[in-house]
Structure 1
Amino acid sequence: MGELTRNYDWSKTSLGTPDQWPKSLHTLVNMMLNSRFPMLIFWGPDLITFYNDAFRPSLGSSGKHPSSLGQKGEQSWAESWPVIGPMIYSIMAGGEAVWFEDQKLPLYRDGRLDYAYWTYSFSPLIDDTGAVNGVLVTCSETTRTVLARQQAEETQQLVLAFFEQSPVGIAMLSARDLTFLMANPFYGYLVGRTPDQLVGKPLLVAMPELAGQGFDDLLKQVVTTGMPYVAREVAVDIVRNNQLETIYVDLTYQPHREANKTISAILVVATDVTQQVLSRQKIKESENRFRTLIEEAPVATCLFVGREMRVAVANELMLSFWGKDKSVLGKPLAEAVPELNGQPFLTILDEVFTTGQTYTAKNAPAELLVDGVLGTYYFDFTYKPLRDAAGVVYAIMDMAVDVTQQVIAQQQLVASEARLRSVIATAPAGMGLFVGRDLIVELPNQTFIDIVGKGPDIAGKPLREVMPELLTENQPFLKILDDVYTTGQMFQSYGSRVDIVQHGVMTHNYYNITYTPLRDEQGQVFAILDIAIDVTEEIKGRQKLQQAEEALRGAMELADIGTWELDVPTGLITYSENLKQLFEFTEDSLPAVLMNEVIHESDQDRIRLALEQVFTFGSGGLLDQEYTIVTRRTGRHRIVRVQARMYFDDYQQPAKLVGTMRDITEERQQQLALEQLVQQRTEELAAAIEALESTNQILASKNEEYVVINEELEEANRQLNRSNDNLQQFAYVASHDLQEPLRKIQSFGNLLQNQYADQLGEGGAYLERMQSAASRMSTLIRDLLSYSRISVQQDRRQLVSLPTVVQTVLTDLELVIAETGAEVTVGELPEVLGDPLQLGQLFQNLLTNALKFSRIARPGATNESKPPVPVIRVDARTLLARDVPALVVSNRSAPVYHQIDVIDNGIGFEQKYADRIFQVFQRLHGRNEYAGTGIGLAICEKVVTNHGGAIRASSQPGRGATFSVYLPG
């Protein structure tokens, strides 16, 4: 630019040759040319243009450069002069410097008129006389930065619009503290809060009722493992409308990773599957309401008269669109809104005036100067020609609607299509779009493709062609979709049967279906979003349950068991047909007060007290009583047994008592005869006990003989060991036969204790000892049977999940854990090849052992000396075969072994007994201290041996014990 400036013929300008320039101009031009910052100088009354090399690239490769050099400012910057000219003239007149940021200006460069954004300042320049004789322009073009920022804002608005309008509950929680980062309105609807009540609050603060339901633990697990969590029909107890209610959702927890792979947040997607009743909304607007909506619609209207298009009438909304006031009335449109010159609207109006044909356009862009800023706006408008009595066009009515926001939203929607496809593709339900009246299938996700069962190439085809069975099987769904498209009303169906030919086979499945109409920027339905959730298993399960209930009612009738139901609010009792015959009633239902009349007077007080207990909330609500009834007509006495459960409403008030009744008159008569027999046998037993005491005295004198017999028994024991296999088989068979007489001993003993406890006297103590011995014998037989089964059980190995096995055992021990207050922690456990029943027995015995040998309080212990809560931990680790001690597993044939440790803080034992405890019938404590048969740990060793592994124990007295199980990997 220095060279161009020196070679320029300045004599043709008002400045004259450089030797005629003032010294100040020489200095300013020299400074400008040597600056690396874009600069431009306007000098003298004609505002002659100078600019430097840093400014030149903004002029483009063709257009203003080099013609702008030495040219008058009003000529060189004609397109921008209406904006910058007034400011430059103001500074030349002595005004202050000005500065603007990201100002949009028209600019002619690269052979066309364009717009660019600038950050610039205008400063006064002083000549040699001290007067303002020029303007210094320092500037920086920010077009790329502004456009990039606008694009980012549009993208963000697009994502937020989809997020807000999604028919699926979506929320984002912080991975650090589970604080809500965002939540869409539908998610707020699901949980009974607004998004403002959720965002910024931790999960359990925003929804305290979730405490104890495990959702916070699941979210933490997703953060820890990095694995998504997906579940169907999850029950959630949630407070909505100030009421605690249970909703069911299909739930997805998706971890969100940053660029460095760290998890920063969790995306929560929840689909409401609670409603099982069709909810249709029928909207029919009256004519008055329709007119009111039209009157309130934002429609701008104006009237152009004559070929000059003079503005005769314009409402306030139209004037606001133009950025003008009523002073434009009466002026030609080209004069009233000069920025329309060069735009197509004036030409279109002239054609409408000439041809007399209405012109309609949608989403038409218009450049309008509003509040001094030229901007682009979008309109739907109609030019309607008006004719006089002779049929000649004399005016045009313009009706326009500002659709700028809709167009921008549509542009954002187009930009977010990829995101929409991603959301649909990852949704846990079947999703797809039906576009147009022909219902063209678009954007089907894999679940939808699997439901249709016609292969992946269904996109772009009409639904009636993809699923012809909807027509051939006379199914209603095509008609329903057409109604949704016509009315714009959403359709929901729960548990609907759909007959679909999947991969050539007709199937009959059940789905929760939602048809949601989608509207374009004009509010017209252009597509329908189909969301289908497969509930076949749920519906079929419900059908099977109904069949089972019917079968149960039939079985109860055959078993002569009657059913009855008391409706507490009405006080009416309804009962089955066989109870109707038993009581000799003729009515189908009776008031509860009349039912009391049939209860024998000797039982009425007892039954009344039992019912008062059942009617009390928190008592358990269970009724189990026997009493005598007096039939209504014949007065027969019958003994009945009643079992029932009370159901309470949401306000903890009794609502319904449901139960069964069985006539046990003959059973009680047989029991009475049995009791008489037991009394006789009791007397005989007393005599036998007396004889036994006499025998004991004789046995004491024979003690020396027993020493010799003991040596003989040791020899016999060695012989018995050789036939151990046969004895185990014998134990397996004999245990079943031994159990039966023991059950009779215990049953008769219970009858004696219950019915004749006050008559037995000292015999009661003997009876208790007999019952105790029978119970221990029964337990011993059961344990022997378990040991025998494990010894002879066939190999049924399969891949077994140890976490599932341990969880099942903990569920069985739930009551014992609650009674002892034990804390049980289970680490990550592997899958192993083995027998699931034997492995279940292994962990059942180990965990029962840990609970049983906890440190218990002794008589006289103070609160300070109470033992600690039992703490049990189950951990696992993987070892290479070479790292497993040979003393533990002698035949290390597997490449790896799993070491599973069961660790407790119980009473422990001395290490010298570590091998002894795995032998049959070996006990380290008396039966009075800890119950048991001494077989449980022997069973554990047998199970581990069957699986090619080993078990070892380590402990110290008072410091707990560790049982380590080694299983091949």
Structure 2
Amino acid sequence: MSLAEEPQHQNHPFLNSGGEMGTLLRSFDWSTISLGNPHRWEQSLKTTLGIILNSKFPMLLFWGKELNCFYNDAFIYISGDSTLSSLNPGATGELVWKETWVKIQPMIIDVMKGGDAVWVEDQMLPIYRREKRKDVYLTLSASPVNDELGIVAGVLMTCNETTQKVLQQKKTKENERNLRLIILQAPVAIAILRGPEYVVEIVNSKALELWGRKSADVFNKPILQAMPELLSQGIKDLLDNVYESGEPFVATELPIELFRKNKLETAYLNFVYEPLFDLEGNINGLIAIGTEVSEQVRTRHQIEETAEELQAINEEMLSSNEELALSNERLERAEEMLRFSVEAAEAATWHMELETRKFITSNRLKQLFGLTTQAEVSYKDVINKIPEDHRSVVRAAILLSFREGTSYHMEHPIIGFQGKKRWVRALGKLYPANGRQQGHFSGLIIDITEEKENELRKNDFIGMVSHELKTPLTSVMGYIQLLTNKAKIAEDTFGYSLLQKTNVQVKKMSSMINGFLNISRLESGKILIEKQVFNIDELVKEIIEELQFTITSHKINLSLCENIQVNADREKIGSVVSNLISNAIKYSPGGGEIVVKCAQKENVMEVTVEDDGIGINSEDLTRLFDRFYRVENLNTKHISGFGIGLYLSAEIIERHNGKIWASSEPEKGSVFYFNLPLS
């Protein structure tokens, strides 16, 4: 029987199954091409083709001198070229690969000539998908296939598309470049330290200025080697603790000895050390952010010391007429010291008699408020120099000091010469009449414009960086979810577990960024309260169930919670409840119980969160809800936090016209309360 007379459509076991390509191969008339009838093919061709057709992995086989190409359904999907369906089975590789053949052919020819197997990672190839040219990245493997004589007769190629991975790597590098530019241009000192030796990877000009170093002195060097004066000051222990525990460290007005201008000098710094993580959730470095507040601290200390001495002198004057002469001498000395301190701090003073309302100011005050130094100045003149949106607040604070005898302490803007806006800090006190002198309201004002603008720039920078980080972080979370689903489908337990851990770390970072964004929105007045009517008991139960699902160290007990409807922002009130419970867990020993209650009291709804933890000293209770304030003692040194949770909670409750407070005793636990009006 001749080749033309041989049956072309007989059953060939190696062509069974194989999906769309298997059907096409079984129905094709092989007498039309040089390969001829399949039953006469080499056994190695049949075996390899059977493997390809039954594989879910994109595979191709180039056979013979003409490089006849066979591929499976998976390759049709990865190529995305609808014209493949118009090609005959066994078409040449040049027709199958088209535009990419110029890159693929040399690899195939080398292997056909007896070369070793070839493996190429992330090869960019132009491929048409939906009639549009796309740059696709593939990892390719080309292996020789021998005939019965051991001679290379074909090449088996496997393909794995890595486009998504390559694009993500490029995007990550772009984000890193953008972050580097942000750091280098930041208005505060920032440095990135890598590895357990804390090698300086990035440092901006503000940090170099603060350290008293040049870039060449510290770049790519361990920070403790470049700045040896830090070794004896416990800085290494702080760095090691953050690197090993993953818990941030925040310092306020910490005195540090720095070698600057050829001598050691004490600098007061506000700074934070924050751990940096790789994609696997392992700590690989730290980011240090800080500002120097030495001038402000020294000025405040000087004023406080002078004020304390002046108070002591005043009390001594009243104690005995016999010591009047000595007291006057000391008073004159103290007044001289006070004048010197006031002049050194460029502070302005005022004195207002309560009975006559006569208002006396220093020339410095007139200069600050844009008033001529020769003219008399009234209380009204000064008040009118305060912008309208702050004027009523200042008046209310002064009236409160008059009425209750409390100290007056305010920070507010003023309008100086040529309408220039400046910020001042005003400190005052009401001195009642005592028989020898009239009652008066006196104090001083300090220009804090530079300090305030630095703070505003810092807040703007934090908000900007947080917003810049949130966008790529959202993309990362999406990729993690996609990879997690793929790992789950592929039953890759190790990859699935690793991705789950990575997701936890990304959520922590997202929570931290959201906290800084909320602070930025609060201070810019852009945070919105969207009220709705809801049941407080349902909200509290949802939050407890969510927290209890992830926390096994404590038991959260909802002791009593009435079915009360409130009109408030459900999401933000939920964040307040979640923050109070999380703090109770954080500051309580393992195995403890957290008790949550909510009830109606007269015209308000009140929620309480009680723990049996370490408790809080009375002096800390008054500042718990201040921004960035953290209780610092031996019990809290290893507990992480930025001091923003309670601050944000207080701002949210205040915007609902509610009240938030706490009661506590050291070693006996704490109770946190907040209420919301029901009317």
Could you tell me the TM-score, scaled by structure 2's length?
0.37
Greater relative CO (CA pairs within 8 A, separation 6+): 2
Mark the structure with the bigger radius of gyration. 1
Could you tell me the TM-score, scaled by structure 1's length?
0.27
Q: Which structure carries more helix by proportion?
A: 2
